[in-house]
Amino acid sequence: MSKMKSDFRRMLLRLPPNRQDYTAIGIIAELASSLGIGLIGTYVEDSRVRGLADLPNAREFRGGSWQPFSAAQFAQDMATAAREAERLFMENAGPHKPALSFSVTRALADDLREAYPDDIVVVIEPNSAVERVTHQFNELLEAAFRSTSSILLVPGHAKRLLGPIIVLASAPSDPGITAALAMAASTGERLTLVSLEAPVDALSPVLERAKRAGIAFALAEAAVQDGRILLPAHVRGRLLIMSRGRSTQQPRLPGTPILLISPDAVRGDEPDRGQAA
């Protein structure tokens, strides 16, 4: 089997505020390890909460009564929360052995400001319906789609799945093809190649690449109806890969992470920005 390499350099993960969503980090770390890239977990301190320390005559309910606000205690609590986030990140990601890095930021946008086309921005969808409509989550989602990076959407309730790597493609040059082949080769999973708006024969060069890499594969066709991609009922897998340009047409595959590939993901003229942490 020939070795295949993805076009990505690192995953950027904003750590969730709810510890119940940390179980999804194991799946994320496993994908990062399979792609051979680093995973950077960033804990965001809520700047609005930190701003409470600057309010005059601020008080807090502590020890059963209202007491003067303690800036020192508040700073200690924030530091403790960051350390707990780091512990949970390392605990869930460590067993999968990707290169890991942890950082803390106070600005919601800082963790994505340096996102590049060869990065993958990770978005964990909270389990809680209330948290899915918070400013923090929606700001993350908007920032991810404003970036030029690929985006990995992971349901907070997702569990490790076995099965094929599914890739939706309309041409052999689709940027998701390389990522799908690299993932299938690394995991030993089959590749399910789903043709979109193109005859299956048009994707034969992809099948030749899979054969040369020793990757087992299957073919399927999808339809687009009412602005949504409809996959055949038998198509299931551990990861769905598709173009970011079709993000509004995402098929329904409950519990399955979706990797949306940026059209700028493969660029030979990108400057060297050093190794991932």
Q: Express each pLDDT in 128-177 by its tens digit.
A: 888 888 888 888 899 999 999 999 999 888 777 788 999 999 889 888 89
> 223 and 138: one domain?
no
Question: What's the rounded mean pLDDT across residues 233-261?
Answer: 87
Apex CA 251: angle with CA 19 and CA 164, to 5°?
80
Residue, of 9 and 270, whose pLDDT is higher: 9
> 189 and 107: one domain?
no
Lookup: tokens for 39: 């995973």
Q: Assign 200 a pLDDT band (cuts: 50, 70, 90).
A: confident
Which of 205, 199, 196, 197 minimizes the C-alpha distance to 168?
196
Q: What is the pLDDT of residue 102?
A: 96
User: What's the CATH code of the domain at 20?
Assistant: 3.40.50.12370
C-beta separation of 108 from 143 below 8 A:
yes
What does residue 147 show for φ and ψ, rounded to 5 degrees? -75, 170
The Cα 232–Cα 166 span in angstroms is 12
Structural domain contains residue 33:
yes
What does residue 136 show for φ and ψ, rounded to 5 degrees? -60, -45
> 202 and 227: one domain?
yes
> 134 and 23: one domain?
yes
Structural domain contains residue 118:
yes
> 106 and 217: one domain?
no
Domain boundary among 92, 126, 155: 155
Structural domain contains residue 35:
yes
Q: What is the pLDDT of residue 1?
A: 43
Lookup: tokens for 272: 């060297």
Domain that holds residue 115: 10-48+76-155
Partners of residue 193 on adjacent β-strands: 167, 219
Mean confidence (pLDDT) of the chain: 84
C-beta separation of 21 from 127 below 8 A:
yes
User: What DSSP string runs through 78-123?
Assistant: HHHHHHHHHHHHHHHHGGG---EEEEEESSTTHHHHT--TTEEEEE
The Cα 178–Cα 209 span in angstroms is 10
Q: Assign 267 a pLDDT band (cuts: 50, 70, 90).
A: very low
> 136 and 188: one domain?
no
The Cα 241–Cα 255 span in angstroms is 14
C-beta separation of 43 from 216 below 8 A:
no
Write out pLDDT tens, residues 51-80. Answer: 565 666 666 667 777 777 666 777 788 889
Domain boundary among 127, 155, 183: 155
Residue 275 has pLDDT above 80, yes or no: no
**DSSP assignment, residue 127?**
S
**DSSP assignment, residue 55?**
S
Structural domain contains residue 2:
no
User: What's the CATH code of the domain at 187?
Assistant: 3.40.50.620
Distance of CA 139 to the CA centre of its chain: 15
User: What DSSP string runs through 185-218?
Assistant: HHHT--EEEEE-SS-GGGGHHHHHHHHHTT--EE
User: What's the structural domain count of the chain?
Assistant: 2
pTM, entire model: 0.84
Which of 108, 105, 70, 67 minimizes the C-alpha distance to 85?
105
